[in-house]
Structure 1
Amino acid sequence: MFRITTAFATLVAFAAIPAFADEDIADQYPGSVLYEKPVEVIPDVWSAIGATAPPTYENAGHNNNLSFIVTGEGVIVVNAGANAKLAQALHDEIKAVTDQPVKLVINENGQGHAMLGNSYWIDQGVEVLAHVDAAHEFEEYSAQIYDGMTRYARENAEGTVPMGPTRTFEDKEVITLGGKTIEVLYSGPAHSPGDIQVWLPEDGLMIAGDMAFHNRIPPIFEDTCTSCWIETWETVFAPIGATYVIPGHGYPTNMAQVEDHTIGYLKHLRGEVGKLLDEGGTLEDAYYVDQSPYAHHDTFEELATKNAGQVFTEMEFE
């Protein structure tokens, strides 16, 4: 189908190396607000890999993956970035790769690091696409999301104006550009409202958004349904049969790896919480359930305890 690039092989090898404390991982691209310089994952598909730490001043909020597809007739960007400066930095990198114009930006969900950069792209005359649920989520919480970003990003927040997408879809949108077919999919409930995936069927590559995590454990929010996430993965997402995956967070890899780091983690945590519930345990007990098989993953210290409490609250009423 395609040749695997040296960059992709290097990323896969790097992904197998145990990570150290999240906040101690140095910025990988000091000359830019981007955390890492974009790499070509497969021919014509690039991704600027974000930090596996939470959003901070040091990473300017670039803690998710900002990807772009060079089609021959234009560029499609996946994720607008957490602020206008990140969006502009990504655009500068795109211009260094190709003189093709950016034709479309796709928001992977309604979170800040997917949508707060929209204003930059809209000012460039670029359309922005998102799932209807993601658009509603951002509309409801955009002020709160923006305020949170300004607190950690400080001067890097300058020029950012909260804007939702310019158009939405519900189930699937197929884009044909430059002879390349790109399917924007809503597979079902997962990490957060309106999570979507970008599928390149001819290449066997999935830009998975927050359906998939790698190298770090996922945060479980108050409105995250972990049982729904598992069901969506097993009945819709996995059967697509992607060979290569650019996750929402973490390095590009394959389906087996992101399944272990995402669904493997959710199933483990639900199993431990389920045992606790069977024994009559309390919410306070849930914070201490065994999550040690995933303790070497980034964001474990920040998220494990909170995740256990959220899953207990969810499972208590199942």
Structure 2
Amino acid sequence: MRAQLSVLAVLFAAASPAAASEQIADQYPQSVLYQKPVEVIPYVWSAIGATAPPTYENSGHNNNLSFLVTGEGVIVINAGACAQLAEALHEEIKLVTDEPVRMVINENGQGHAMLGNSYWAEQQVPILAQVAAAEEFEAHGADILARMQDYNRDKAEGTSVQGPTETFEDEKVIEMGRFRVEVKNLGPAHAPGDIVVWLPDVSLVISGDMAFHERLLPIFDETDTAAWLESWEAFEALEATYVIPGHGHPTNMHQVRRYTRDYLVHLRGEIRTLIDAGGSLKEAYYVDQSPFAHLDTFEQLATRNAGRVFEQMEWE
């Protein structure tokens, strides 16, 4: 346990913007995975993805693929952006344990959460997602697959559109071996069907895209930032000691609050000031976001985020 805590301390020390990896194309060239899985706390593992957009070099592994070794089977969180990533993660799991994978949980309806489902379905593993995530993937799965095929080329081979085999509305509780696993929909956040995986006995949350910290969070047309801030209150109420975010290294609640909640509050405040002064959408692109300019993907997302928040807040 002492050695494990030392590993965790190193990870948490690395969990700062300085450790972000947008400029590093691949940290595990022996595998299509971006990084080899690490044991965050005992029996909880995560393969940390790139904090850059999906590319051929990172194989679309730009989110975190986690798994729990329960003693009675393995639970995987996120299927990955393609079948080859799912298979690579499975091979890493086999190096850790001989327990079979008994469930896969999709954190939302995005490609890097669900496209690997096709591999897991072939292994006859049940796949769980929130209802809205399943509906999102059913409606847009073909387009999501096509976009992945465009950047991943030969690495997309073997991937097909496969939704979850089971859905839930608000909460699904799984009692398996050493873990009580609470899969929760806390309300609207980054994308339709966002969930968190809460392990109350060890005070660890796999937050999915509820929480960001090493890369700037993206705001989509369908992202309701006001509702996200309301959902955040339920997320904070978990009082988690450890946070494995959807993107970036394992960290703590303070860090994700600073770069998720505080970013949303800051951006909405800047846009509200602009709207109250009679400002335009064109001016919104230039509001001050400098406190967050050091985050990965800032250049790709900051102006886009500002424009989308302006368009939303005009009608609030």
1:278 maps to which residue?
276
- Count how many residue pairs are aligned between Structure 1 and Structure 2: 316
* Percent of aligned pairs sharing the same letter: 65
Structure 1 position 18, deviation (Å): 2.0
Q: Is the 8 A contact 2:285 2:304 kept in 1?
A: yes
Q: Distance in 1 between matches of 2:158 and 2:122?
A: 11
Q: Distance in 2 between matches of 1:67 and 1:21?
A: 18
1:256 maps to which residue?
254
Q: CA RMSD in A?
A: 1.4
1:52 maps to which residue?
51
Unpaired segments ≥5 residues, structure 1? none
Q: Distance in 2 between matches of 1:107 and 1:2?
A: 32
Q: 121-130 or 11-20: which moved more?
A: 11-20
5 Å-filtered alignment, 1:204-215, equals 204-215=203-214
2:294 maps to which residue?
296
Q: Distance in 1 between matches of 2:17 and 2:193?
A: 32
Mark the CA change 1:300 to 1:103 in structure 2 (over 3 Å): closer, same or farther: same
Structure 1 segments of 4+ aligned residues over 6 angstroms from their partners:
none
Structure 1 position 6, deviation (Å): 2.9
Mark the CA change 1:132 to 1:12 in structure 2 (over 3 Å): closer, same or farther: same
- TM normalised by structure 1 equals 0.97
Q: Distance in 2 between matches of 1:17 and 1:260?
A: 12
- Tell me the alpha carbon deviations over residues 69-89 of structure 1, each in whole angstroms, 9 at most, x when there is no partner: 000010000000000000000
Q: Is the 8 A contact 2:21 2:50 kept in 1?
A: no
SS at 1:242 equivalent: coil
Q: Distance in 1 between matches of 2:159 and 2:5?
A: 35
2:132 maps to which residue?
133
Structure 1 position 5, deviation (Å): 2.9
SS at 1:211 equivalent: coil
SS at 2:190 equivalent: coil
Unpaired segments ≥5 residues, structure 2? none
Structure 1 position 271, deviation (Å): 0.8
Mark the CA change 1:18 to 1:222 in structure 2 (over 3 Å): closer, same or farther: same
SS at 2:18 equivalent: coil
Structure 1 position 7, deviation (Å): 2.8
Structure 1 position 180, deviation (Å): 1.7
1:217 maps to which residue?
216
Q: Distance in 2 between matches of 1:106 and 1:218?
A: 22
Q: Is the 8 A contact 1:216 1:299 kept in 2?
A: yes
Q: What amino acid is the match of 1:129?
A: L
Q: Is the 8 A contact 2:21 2:51 kept in 1?
A: no
5 Å-filtered alignment, 1:1-318, equals 5-16=5-16, 18=18, 22=22, 24-234=23-233, 236-318=234-316
- TM normalised by structure 2 equals 0.97
